[in-house]
Structure 1
Amino acid sequence: MVENLLYVRCMYYLDDYWSKAYGENYIKPRLIVYTDSIDLSVDGRDKKITSTCYLGGIVFINTSQMNQIVGTSAAARVYVMAHEVGHHIQNLLTDLDMVKQRQSKMIKKGDTVGANRLSIRCELQADYYAGTFCRYLNKISKDSDIENISPDGIVDIIAATNNIGDDVLLGGNYSAEVSDHGTAEQRKRWFWHGYNDDNFSRQSIYDLRDDQL
């Protein structure tokens, strides 16, 4: 399928970008593209994957879910995939372990709001990483077989960040206390932070106050 080819090509350039930006210790993630759901065994336990997500070194792309979130936009698909690979970079940097450990302590103390706010930082950081990759993609497009992200493509990406903002997804049930992925405005802002930055390691999102996100 043409759509599947897009993900394979995107992963090639994601690996190319991160192998240079991260350095020699970069480890490539696996890519699994599927429709509806997929069953697998994780740590000896059966698990059903039903979404586009990152888990233990594997980027899962649910094509049916992608169609619902971003429609036919190739640029928006690239953004979502780059976001999931952003979680892989967090894994390599041990940020995911740090977040899980801090969240566990917070939850034991009954601080679910604090745990959610850590989760928001994790998601916004992945959006930031996606932005840095999209900047790179446009930079190399003249010398590669992949198209640059046009102004219309950027519009599609911003629309995607809006569609997956907690305030949009939760609607009338949204509140800052239950948000764990960030608002549409925050997700758009952090994508732009990445797109306008040429050094992914500059932002230390875990040191920021909530009102700075």
Structure 2
Amino acid sequence: MKWEGDRQSDNVDDRRGAGGGGGGFGGFGGKSVGIGTIVIALIGSVFFGIDPSVILGGGEGTVPTQAQQAPRATPANDRETQFVKTTLAYTEDVWGQVFAAQGSQYQPTILTLFEGAVPTACGTGRSATGPFYCPADRRVYIDLGFFRLMQQRFKVEGEFAQAYVIAHEVGHHVQNLLGISDQVHNAQQRASEKQGNALSVRLELQADCFAGLWANRTNQREQFIEAGDVEGAMAAATAIGDDALQRQSQGQVVPDSFTHGSSAQRVRWFQRGLESGKVEDCNTFDAKQL
């Protein structure tokens, strides 16, 4: 992946070494992204046909949180940090362009780097959770140790695979701006556990498709994809499929408990976004087959 020398985002909040953990929010609330009869609501989003003012209004107001007010550590500027800042800048450029084409303005997320634990508006986030997005404060949270885990545990190499992870989480931010995440959560409150899990899968697969869309459009602008990069991202999608993780952790696969999608599904929707580059092709909620 060729990224050196490109623009770096100013929207990275480096809290490593700032003493995370605690924070008074209780356990992680499970509302970091979340859907039943979502199809109608989804079609109501701006890209599937509603007034752009839905996005301009920005959904729920941002609530000041301890995560936003905590003291900052001295930001690092090593290669890994520069890579994260550049990848986030790529997402800002792509989604800024997509939103502008609909007469709207993209509101970038803040990407928070942390170690161990961090207070968020969704509760205390922990490294063991993996990278996540909190709709309540509109932030992506990543412990960069996850990238080393990808290499050591899942044998997934390459910066493009890491960029896919970031782009997936930013995809959840886009869903939040569109109001999709709230519709998902509301529908899950009325659904059975099995139905709620199935809706979560569709939300996650759409974020995978959005990550593919990001790669498509960024490559058109920057020609940043190199030989082996796409294969690395596919390997990452395969490694973190629910079936692969369940097989590895418990020796059996329970499809009804899937919340992110199978390896094949994750690969398929990432590929779809990568090949198309169109938001309308990422409508997982209207898909008869995932």
Q: TM-score, normalised by structure 2?
A: 0.65
Matched residue, 1:161: 237
- CA shift, 1:25, in A, is 2.6
Task: Describe the superposition over 1:2-42 as per-residue Cα deviations: whole angstroms up to 9, x where unpaired.
Answer: 1111010111111011011122331110011223x232152
- CA shift, 1:183, in A, is 0.4
The correspondence for 1:202, drawn from 281, 285, 289, is 281
- Matches of 2:172 and 2:244, distance apart in 1: 22
The correspondence for 1:69, drawn from 150, 158, 162, is 150
The correspondence for 1:29, drawn from 106, 109, 128, is 109
Task: Tell which has more relative contact order, 1 or 2 (C-alpha 8 A, sep 6+).
Answer: 2
- Matches of 2:168 and 2:283, distance apart in 1: 17
The correspondence for 2:209, drawn from 128, 137, 141, is 128
- Matches of 2:235 and 2:282, distance apart in 1: 24
- Matches of 2:180 and 2:164, distance apart in 1: 21
- CA shift, 1:137, in A, is 1.8
The correspondence for 2:124, drawn from 40, 44, 47, is 47
- CA shift, 1:139, in A, is 1.0
The answer on 1:151 being equivalent to 2:236 is no
Task: Describe the superposition over 1:92-113 as per-residue Cα deviations: whole angstroms up to 9, x where unpaired.
Answer: 111101110111101xxxx211
**Secondary structure of the corresponding residue to residue 39 of structure 1:** strand
**Secondary structure of the corresponding residue to residue 219 of structure 2:** helix
Is the 1:75–1:156 Cα contact (8 Å) retained in structure 2? Answer: yes
The correspondence for 1:92, drawn from 165, 168, 177, is 177
Q: What is the identity percentage for the equivalent residue pairs of Structure 1 and Structure 2?
A: 29
Cα 1:94/1:162, change in 2 over 3 Å: same
Is the 1:128–1:191 Cα contact (8 Å) retained in structure 2? Answer: yes
Q: Which amino acid aligns with 1:180?
A: T
Greater helix fraction, Structure 1 or Structure 2: 1
Task: Describe the superposition over 1:67-93 as per-residue Cα deviations: whole angstroms up to 9, x where unpaired.
Answer: 112555100011000000000000011
Q: Which amino acid aligns with 1:8?
A: K
Matched residue, 1:114: 195
| Structure 2 unaligned regions, length at least 5 | 1-77
Is the 2:269–2:282 Cα contact (8 Å) retained in structure 1? Answer: no
Is the 1:52–1:66 Cα contact (8 Å) retained in structure 2? Answer: no
Task: Describe the superposition over 1:147-175 as per-residue Cα deviations: whole angstroms up to 9, x where unpaired.
Answer: x1123011100100011000110102321
Q: Which amino acid aligns with 1:162?
A: T
**Secondary structure of the corresponding residue to residue 91 of structure 2:** helix
Greater Cα radius of gyration, structure 1 or 2: 2
Is the 1:52–1:62 Cα contact (8 Å) retained in structure 2? Answer: yes
The correspondence for 1:104, drawn from 167, 180, 189, is 189
Cα 1:129/1:48, change in 2 over 3 Å: closer
Is the 1:10–1:78 Cα contact (8 Å) retained in structure 2? Answer: yes
- CA shift, 1:198, in A, is 2.8
Is the 1:76–1:156 Cα contact (8 Å) retained in structure 2? Answer: yes
Matches within 5 A, 1:161-180: 161-171=237-247, 172-180=251-259
**Secondary structure of the corresponding residue to residue 256 of structure 2:** coil
- After superposition, the CA RMSD in angstroms is 1.5
